[in-house]
Structure 1
């Protein structure tokens, strides 16, 4: 077991879906929810797993769906966005690195997680690139970037992508990603009822 924490960002409003995406049934395995599936998946790769909820009410909703080993935390300041979720998760963990995923990415492949963990290096974000776009919500972050996140939050930024302008980044290009996830299913977001129906 490596010294990496798994962080699930689940603090969004799910406005386009119309219901909480964390509690959606997993396509092909209806008895599981997105959040329970991802928690179990990360537990098999990471030393610890943290789930970052928006506030305590949201955290209480998720509790029955999580393995007892998963730690539930809430955003340091609610309603700021995913950069705050990333900050809250990195601040709460005790390892040097975190594999971070959004809760609406139900098709993350174990081999992709292992690839991210294997690339870990000091003070460097390991950033998958798909179609030339950094996949900031499925990447490996060192805890050492916390001061840079604090700087961005103080500047009023809410988007994790803004962090890439300050941090040291190692991009993982599509060709390398496809060696472990040929169809890049790991990077599929399910944001709307139509997308959920398509994959179900």
Structure 2
């Protein structure tokens, strides 16, 4: 099996968390991004963190012992498409799974299945409901970086835009359920979400 990278996109502002840095908020005794990283590392060989420069120290502390590669935004606040591009550029493998920093229930088995489905394609994107999940998807680096560059020619591209030009395979709900848990897509965005996740994990 070829080596696989895991990219966490963590550069967004934690607007709905009430001013607290969401990536390192405590969830059942563990920083949120550490929960994401531990599950991601179970399915990958290399960990890449995309973040803003002002986040780097706190995230590095939360990930002590994991030795991630940091892909710091040269220009912060350009949105998730820029984060995906920066993360993929830093990865050293042909294929990477790109996830958001707020998914503490990531399912390593489901991530491994997405890697399998991405073979011979440029991306594998899940659709557990009505919408695609671009921040829980596997990308082939070279064409995906180019797709992000094209999308970023407009100021604020939709997160789905790069996928629209890639040779992608869509993994629908029934297929996802057969290979893992849909809890993998649950995110923590607000203080109430933190309480909910803590109650499930505590």
Same fold (TM over 0.5): yes
Which of 66, 89, 110 does residue 112 from structure 1 map onto? 110
Instruction: Give me the whole-angstrom Cα distance separating, in 2, the residues matched to 1:70 and 1:169.
Output: 28
In the alignment, which residue of structure 2 is the partner of 1:16?
Answer: 16
In the alignment, which residue of structure 2 is the partner of 1:64?
Answer: 61
Map residues 92-103 of structure 1 onto 2, 5 A cutoff: 92-103=90-101
- 2:190 is aligned with 1:192: yes
Instruction: Give me the whole-angstrom Cα distance separating, in 2, the residues matched to 1:24 and 1:123.
Output: 36
State the shift of 1:2 in Å.
4.0
In the alignment, which residue of structure 2 is the partner of 1:46?
Answer: 44
Instruction: Give me the whole-angstrom Cα distance separating, in 2, the residues matched to 1:119 and 1:76.
Output: 32
Instruction: Give me the whole-angstrom Cα distance separating, in 2, the residues matched to 1:76 and 1:122.
Output: 32
Secondary structure, counterpart of 2:118 in structure 1? coil
Instruction: Give me the whole-angstrom Cα distance separating, in 1, the residues matched to 2:121 and 2:115.
Output: 14
TM-score by length of 2: 0.90
Taking a change above 3 Å as real, the CA distance of residues 180 and 107 of structure 1, as seen in their structure-2 partners, is same
In the alignment, which residue of structure 2 is the partner of 1:125?
Answer: 123
Provide the aligned length of Structure 1 versus Structure 2.
195
Gapped regions of structure 1 (runs ≥ 5): none
Taking a change above 3 Å as real, the CA distance of residues 35 and 2 of structure 1, as seen in their structure-2 partners, is farther
TM-score by length of 1: 0.91
Runs of 4+ off more than 4 Å: none
Instruction: Give me the whole-angstrom Cα distance separating, in 1, the residues matched to 2:122 and 2:90.
Output: 19
Instruction: Give me the whole-angstrom Cα distance separating, in 2, the residues matched to 1:146 and 1:195.
Output: 32
Gapped regions of structure 2 (runs ≥ 5): none
Instruction: Give me the whole-angstrom Cα distance separating, in 1, the residues matched to 2:6 and 2:30.
Output: 19
Secondary structure, counterpart of 1:154 in structure 2? coil
State the shift of 1:100 in Å.
0.8
